[in-house]
Amino acid sequence: MATNKPSKSMPSALTFDLHSKCTTTKARASTLHLPHGSVPLPIFMPVATQASLKGLTYDQLRETGCMLCLNNTYHLGLKPGQAVLDAVGGAHRFQGWDRNILTDSGGFQMVSLLKLAKVTEEGVRFLSPHDGTPMLLTPEHSISLQNSIGSDIIMQLDDVIATTTPDAVRMQEAMERSVRWLDRCIDAHKYPERQNLFCIIQGGLDLDLRRRCCEEMVARDTPGIAIGGLSGGEAKDEYCKVVDTCTGLLPDSKPRYVMGVVSLSLILIFNKRIAHQGQGYPEDLVVSVALGADMFDCVWPTRTARFGNAITPHGVIHLRNIAFANDFAPIQQDCTCPCCRPKSAGGLGITRAFCHHLVAKETVGAHLLTMHNVHYQLSLMNSIRQAILDDRYPAFLLDFFDKYYGSRQNSPQWAVDALRGVGVDLLHDIKIDT
């Protein structure tokens, strides 16, 4: 596949300031300047699928300090629809959000959520979930929808297949088609001066395909670069190898976005666990940052809240458990979110016992836990960033795994191996020469 680099660089509506790189790992601290405000990186982006974050108002989301959230192109294209978005002037006005928005292309939903979807060179053919009408999503239509949404970051339409597919020929086809579709997205993009188009690296778990795709995508010189096609059922060690390989081939001068991070299947499995399990999303974040990634999204913090789960530095606690019925401590000690903050400090002073009472039958319980979980994720990213700026990220990692798992000795093997590869030994307080 020959490189087809455009003769001119794509206009960019962002600037990217790289402030600091960890001297041990590949972690980076930077600032992404977008049309609706500056975004500190690394960042976790809450997912407001249908222009609404489940469980929070936008005023409450602002209070967390969130500067960038996600909307879903597929869902907004169906409802309210492109005509309404054009009439109102885009999603920012439609939902009353004056900060940044990133939209996906809609391709993942076509393939993963809809029956009888068929991918061809033209685009993705599927049946409307409303009336069964045959529909076609092309790279051009995806970009047109995102132009109408007016998001600050828009994603190319890519050919998405599960990382675990055994069909090597189909995997290569998907990678090469994603490159061709990027060229069509670039040509269709009407507003590059105010919306930033990110390419998406594909190739499944085949590192050679990933390397080839990186070369092709970097040549297109889009304002940012995403690593896609992960969290599709692959083992965590395989995920880490892909992220590590890709970030090693990407320019320092552009933001790096790892899409999805935790799959829906893993979320559903996790939500069936009882309590205090050292599994979940935060360790994926801290390891992925160490591997050189900057941006992440996932529905997990809000979805797991609706199952009665609260994220804390000491693991995830399942507040439906009867053990919390008489626990009058805050959800998380020293947390500054509105739920945990005492009333004397302007918070709600919510206790674990009250959450236990609510989560079994009252929707306000999910609301309170969503508020806490989103705050936790964003606070974690702020702490990660500061540790990188202070060049103490390896020490931060040791402390994180000590707390989250009760002891670093209990850390999952995939995390131990991934961090060892970038110079951090979780099991011994030594720096590894890599």
- Whether residue 349 is annotated as binding a ligand: the answer is no
Q: What is the pLDDT of residue 151?
A: 98
SS3 105: coil
Q: What is the CA radius of gyration of the chain?
A: 21
For residue 266, pLDDT beyond 50? no
Give ∠ CA 96-200-28 in degrees, rounded to 5: 80
On whether residue 126 sits in a domain, the answer given is: yes
Q: For residue 77, give both structure tokens.
A: 């294209």
- CA-wise closest residue to 1 among 221, 211, 256, 229: 211
For residue 272, pLDDT beyond 50? no
Query: Is there a single domain that holds both residue 288 and residue 343?
Result: no
Any idea which of 50-59, 212-221, 251-260, 326-335 has the lowest mean pLDDT? 50-59
> pLDDT band for position 108 (50/70/90)?
confident
- Whether residue 340 is annotated as binding a ligand: the answer is yes
Query: Is there a single domain that holds both residue 55 and residue 141?
Result: yes
For the stretch 327-353, pLDDT in tens is 999 999 999 999 999 999 999 999 999
As a whole number of angstroms, the distance between CA 126 and CA 19 comes to 44
Q: Over 134-169, what HEC string results?
A: EEEECHHHHHHHHHHHCCCEEECCCCCCCCCCCCHH
Q: What is the pLDDT of residue 432?
A: 65
As a whole number of angstroms, the distance between CA 242 and CA 64 comes to 31
- Whether residue 132 is annotated as binding a ligand: the answer is no
Query: Is there a single domain that holds both residue 95 and residue 172?
Result: yes
Q: How many other β-carbons are positioned within 10 Å of the β-carbon of residue 374?
A: 26
Any idea which of 120-134, 200-214, 261-275, 282-296 has the lowest mean pLDDT? 261-275
Any idea which of 231-240, 366-375, 417-426 has the lowest mean pLDDT? 231-240
Query: Is there a single domain that holds both residue 144 and residue 244?
Result: yes
Report the amino acid identity of residue 89.
Answer: G
Query: Is there a single domain that holds both residue 299 and residue 318?
Result: no
Q: What is the pTM of this model?
A: 0.93
Range of the domain at 187: 16-264+276-306
- Whether residue 107 is annotated as binding a ligand: the answer is yes
- Whether residue 335 is annotated as binding a ligand: the answer is yes
The catalytic residues are: 104, 297
User: How far lies 264's CA from each of 232, 270, 359, in Å?
Assistant: 9, 10, 21
Alpha helices in 227-350 (DSSP H): 236-247, 264-270, 282-290, 300-305
- Whether residue 248 is annotated as binding a ligand: the answer is no
Mean pLDDT, residues 186-215 taken together: 98
Domain count, the chain: 2
On whether residue 281 sits in a domain, the answer given is: yes
